[in-house]
Amino acid sequence: MRKALVGLLVLALVGALGFWGLTSPMAYALVRGDGQGYWVTPAAFDRDVNLENGRTLFYAGGCTSCHAVPNQDDKLRLGGGYALKSPFGTFHVPNISPHKQDGIGSWSVTDFIRAMREGTSPDGRNYYPAFPYTSYQRMSREDLRDLFSFIMTLAPVEGRAPAHELPFPYNIRRGVGLWKLAFLDGEVFRPDPSKSASWNRGAFLVNGPGHCAECHSERNAAGAIIADRRFAGGPDPEGRGVVPNITPHPTGIGGWTTDDLATLLKTGETPNFDTVGGPMGAVVGNTSHLSDTDRQAMAEYLLSLPPRPGFKKPE
């Protein structure tokens, strides 16, 4: 009996150590890191900043939709505070303004790249994937540098968001390390040489900064996107109905033209003379800042997706 108890204690200790090791952000960096040594930032890397590219990525990413202080007119005040409800609890979106204490003003570009590509904070904690780094990882180091540099030109905003309100076991942040090992592949966007330059630009904007699939897809029990339901719509994570199908299926955007979809991304108007609202209205508030060329590219890519039937709520 005594030997059995000792054996169980040893197994428990080994299990605890294994959990601790596998859930460490360092474990993810070793297994899935991009190997580019981005923790070392050459001086030339800093000098080659393209703020116009950073601005484009900022609006393609819809940063203001979640991070702007709620209920105020200036959408560039990125003080956070928006309460994002989900099946896993309520996430309070953080301050990402250049404020040195309350925002990300004390971060280095390396800190920002690691957060966006590996879901890891500067102090070594796992970020919850409500922060869509599964899409942001598609951006290159240079793109992320430009985006960070643009954010640093905005006004610092005081104030911090409340802590997340998550029930057990989702409040064990360390466990996100296992989620990242399972669902964060570490891949940067690579153009398809068989496709046009505009199609590839649209694919990058939709799958990278635009993170369109993060809302417009069904998810499994672990909260990861179901691959064969990508872009086909799903339940609203806040419990307010259904998120639309954006594949060219009759239950989605089948029958739309690239001009129809590009117009929606510019004005919010649909081909049947309706206007989008709610969260999509906020998205259009961002995509309206993109160039006509980029909106057309996004439309071209979305209309090339495999048609999939839309999500139906269980009766």
The reported pLDDT for the residue numbered 37 is 44
pLDDT tens-digit profile, the chain (315 residues): 665 555 555 454 544 444 445 555 665 555 555 544 455 556 666 778 999 999 999 999 999 999 999 888 899 999 998 898 888 899 999 999 999 999 999 999 999 999 999 999 999 899 999 999 999 999 999 999 999 999 999 999 999 999 999 999 889 888 898 899 889 998 999 999 999 999 999 999 999 999 999 999 999 988 999 999 999 998 887 667 889 999 999 999 999 999 999 999 999 999 988 888 888 888 999 999 999 999 999 999 999 999 999 887 766
Asked if 156 and 1 touch (Cβ cutoff 8 Å), the reply is: no
What Rg, from alpha-carbon coordinates, does the chain have? Answer: 21
- Say if residue 235 is exposed, middle or buried (CB neighbours under 10 Å; 0-12, 13-18, 19+): middle
